[in-house]
Each structure stands twice: as C-alpha cells, then as structure tokens.
Amino acid sequence: MRRAARFSLSSPWRMRQQARQVHYETEEHLMAAPFPVKKKESPLARVALRIQAAYERIRLKHLPANVRAAAAAASSHSIRSETDLANVVEQRVWHSALEGDFENLPGKGKPLKEEGNPHADPAEDLMYRILSKNGFAPEWVELNKEIRSHMERWRRNLKLCWRRKVNELSGNESHRDALWSADLKILEAELKDINKKVLHYNLIVPFGRQVYSYSMEEELQQVQNFR
C-alpha cells in the first residue's frame, strides 16, 4: 500500500525522468540491433547464372519452331524454371500425338540401329563404324576371336589327355604318370601363351570389356569333375 501510494504521488518531474530513461534504453537497443545486410553475389555465382542462361538459350534454339513459339508465349507470365519449360514441351508433344502428327514418321515399327557405343570415345566410335562398313574390325575384336578359338582347341586337348590318363589300360602306373606329366608341361606352356594374349587384349580393349586370365588349376578341376 505504501509503495502504491508513493508511485501515485510521484511528482511530474520524476515521471518525465522515467519516460526519458525508457526512451534512451529503447533507442540504444535499436542502435545495437544489426540491420539486415544483403549478401553480395560472388563472381562465381554470377558466372554460373550466365552459363545456365546460355545453356537455356542453346537448348531452346534446337527445339522445334512450334515448341519455341509456345515456350516464348508462356515465358512472359508462367515459365519461371526449367520444370515449367519441360511441362510446356510435354503438353505440346501430347497434343501433337493426339492430332496424329507422329503416325507417318519414317522408320515407325522398325528396330533402331544401335551402331554407336555410348560409353566409347566419339573419335574411336567413328573409327569403329568406318572399319565395320568396310569389312574390317578393330584389333581387340580380332584378338578376342583368336583367344576364344585357341582356348577351345586347348580345352579339347586337355580332355583328350585326361581321358588317356584315366582310361589307360597299361598296368605300368609310372608310365601313365610320365605321359601325363609330359602332357601337362605342353598344356601349361600353351595356356601361358594364351594368357599373354589375354593381357594384351585387356590393354587395348575399351573400358569395361576386360576379361580374366585362365587358370590351370580351375581348368583341371572342371575336367576332373566332368568325368
């Protein structure tokens, strides 16, 4: 009660002092508050925006005339991003399909000619197509055929040698082992030459077409399990 009476009976001078103090504190708080500063655009960001704008102009240039006209008409008020442009193009394609503009296209119903390799270098891809049209093939293609042909012949020889060892009627076991050892040496030398060709093939073949070398142990195991 006493404090309320004192405040209510305060002089006008004291009330003005309190009001000034509140005003100063509020002004100091506003001066100390940081003002929002607009971040400057970095040179790299400006270059990226210019590149993106140039890319959009080039892409629009390669679109059909009717699609470009529709995109230009819609860009004044509706197109704001690449997604909007894609929607406009999709609508134009959909309307053209409904009107039957795609019915008389050349090559309709025929298989596509996939002559190019999307994973190969453009220069190499062009060279391969020129060689193919003139009846030639790249070196790695011919080498692959040679390796497969030699490997088929080598496996036939391995089967013959193994059957001769297993079906040998001679009672002299040491003689059979000696023949088998001699056959193995010849087969190992031939397989070593084939693996050298495989190594050369892996060096010249396009990326992703490399193959594993052949193992004598794995080939022997397959022959032994086949009997």
Q: Confirm whether 8 is domain-assigned.
A: no
Q: Are both 83 and 146 inside the same structural domain?
A: no
Tokens of 221: 């195991």
Q: Which residue has the tokens 């036939």?
A: 156
Query: Taking all residues of the chain, what is their mean pLDDT, rounded to a whole number?
Result: 73
Identify the three-state secondary structure at position 183. Answer: helix
Cα dist from 181 to 158, 161, 184, whole Å: 12, 10, 5
Q: Which residue has the tokens 């503009």?
A: 101
Q: Confirm whether 26 is domain-assigned.
A: no
- Domain assignment of residue 161, given as a range: 139-226
Q: Confirm whether 105 is domain-assigned.
A: no
Q: Are both 143 and 222 inside the same structural domain?
A: yes
Determine contact, residues 180/165, Cβ cutoff 8 Å. yes
Distance CA 30, CA 24 (A): 10
Which residue would you say has higher pLDDT here, 217 or 127? 217
Domain count, the chain: 2
Q: Confirm whether 115 is domain-assigned.
A: no
For the entire predicted model, the pTM comes to: 0.44
DSSP string, 25-38: HHHHHHHHSPPP-P
User: In the predicted model, is pLDDT for residue 195 greater than 60?
Assistant: yes
Buried b (16+ CB within 10 A) or exposed e, 166-183: eeeeeeeeeebeeebeeb
Tokens of 46: 């400006």
Q: What does DSSP assign to residue 206?
A: P
Q: Confirm whether 12 is domain-assigned.
A: no
Q: Confirm whether 58 is domain-assigned.
A: yes
Q: Confirm whether 127 is domain-assigned.
A: no
Task: Give the tens place of pLDDT for each residue, 88-137.
Answer: 777 777 777 777 777 777 777 777 665 555 555 666 666 667 766 776 77
Q: Confirm whether 84 is domain-assigned.
A: yes
